Structure 1
Amino acid sequence: MVIGSNRDGRFGPVVADWLLSRLRPRADLDVDVIDLAATDLPTALTSRPSPDVAAELARVSPKLAAADAFVVLTPEYNHSYPAALKSLIDWHYAEWQAKPVALVSYGGVSGGLRAVEHLRQVFAELHAVTIRDTVSFHNAGSHFDEEGRHRDPAVADAAARRMVDQLVWWARALRTAKEEHPYTA
């Protein structure tokens, strides 16, 4: 899972904790988290990263490479997704290829869906497969209580389960396909 916001006072950890409580008990998943608030990748891409950037890439890139699938959690900022998420995506290429990506979003009236649609285009360019079903939280703060519990868990849980079931199916199918026929972009 990638927590795509690094903004002070962000709401992402609330949604991430809720989603992780649904993912971690599943026997068919081994969940690792990359929290962009704990990652320091610059937005300026260079062919020769500085030692600090190289160290950060050495910490993050193996996690992305090892993953069979991704859940990307994004807020919507200015009708799109955050710069920190774009930076993580852009510093990597092969790590995303031929892997499925599920998208979870939150925000105001749109629930982050404009950010999701932008991410679909970016991941398509990277030869990743985005899962059609998403989980989105419109006016996100109103869906969770003070302890971070969802106020209507049955609906949200069903949407998350459907999305993750599809993610697992795609992860297995693409892993098998790549074992039989290595993917080349």
Structure 2
Amino acid sequence: MNSKIKLILIYGGKDEEGLCPALVKWASEVIAQRAEFEFCVIELDDLVISPDTAEHVQRHESLRHLAKADAFLIVTSEQSNGYPAELKAFIDQVSVRWHARPVAFIGYGEESGGMRAIDQLRQVLAGQHAVPICNFVSFPNPRALIDESGVMRQPDQTRLPMARMLVQLNWWARALKAARDQVSYELVS
């Protein structure tokens, strides 16, 4: 089983501090150095379907590509002790694409570093038959970690938790992919 795992990094929602792009850039650089993943980065705004928009067909096509994903990594802020509403709307819109696929998280914001948002998202995604993994990366007070130009001040400090999370995500993705290949999840859900 030497094939690469198709990993989709999803981010978006309102980010008043503008930290998400820096975290996505950092995460993308770390993932790009790993041989086990074939990944792409998708912004939520590019995927949420609004039936009265001209981009409906194009967005629908992008959502179909999500069905080929083996695993997901969600970068989320914490807002008012919870996750962004746009993220929940997206999860609900593409519910079947989560089935029997692992999901990892990078959280940021407030004192908890996004932990409350991650905890809530784990419950939401488990309800969608996804497999939220235990390891995560958290950035409490992320403003202190990112300089004025949007670059991580101490990127090595967070590489170990990220590496642990990616190893666990890869394991779950391979195990669940093998199970889906053996028996379609739709037959058991």
Aligned residues: 179
The structure where strand makes up a greater share of residues is 2
- State TM-score, norm by structure 2: 0.87
Alignment partner of 1:99 out of 85, 98, 101? 101
Alignment partner of 1:66 out of 50, 53, 68? 68
Question: What CA deviation, in whole Å up to 9, does each residue of 1:95-116 have, x standing for no partner?
Answer: 0000000011000211111000
The aligned counterpart of 2:129 is: 127
CA RMSD of aligned residues (A): 1.9
Taking the aligned partners of 2:87 and 2:49, their CA distance within structure 1 comes to: 10
The aligned counterpart of 1:46 is: none
- In the TM superposition, what is the alpha-carbon distance from 1:56 to its structure 2 partner? 5.0
In structure 2, relative to structure 1, the CA distance for the partners of 1:33 and 1:116 (3 Å cut) is same
Question: What CA deviation, in whole Å up to 9, does each residue of 1:111-132 have, x standing for no partner?
Answer: 1110001100000000000110
Taking the aligned partners of 1:52 and 1:127, their CA distance within structure 2 comes to: 31
Deviates more, 1:85-94 or 1:8-17: 8-17
- In the TM superposition, what is the alpha-carbon distance from 1:9 to its structure 2 partner? 5.2
- In the TM superposition, what is the alpha-carbon distance from 1:153 to its structure 2 partner? 2.5
What letter matches 1:58 in structure 2? H
**Contact preservation (8 Å) 2:104, 2:133:** yes
In structure 2, relative to structure 1, the CA distance for the partners of 1:36 and 1:8 (3 Å cut) is farther
**Contact preservation (8 Å) 1:5, 1:12:** no
Taking the aligned partners of 2:15 and 2:154, their CA distance within structure 1 comes to: 27
**Contact preservation (8 Å) 1:41, 1:84:** no
In structure 2, relative to structure 1, the CA distance for the partners of 1:84 and 1:41 (3 Å cut) is farther
Question: What CA deviation, in whole Å up to 9, does each residue of 1:5-57 have, x standing for no partner?
Answer: 24465311011101111011211111111112444435xxxxxx446474254
Give percent identity, aligned residues only.
37
Taking the aligned partners of 2:56 and 2:185, their CA distance within structure 1 comes to: 26
- State TM-score, norm by structure 1: 0.88
Structure 2's unaligned 5+ residue stretches are 1-8
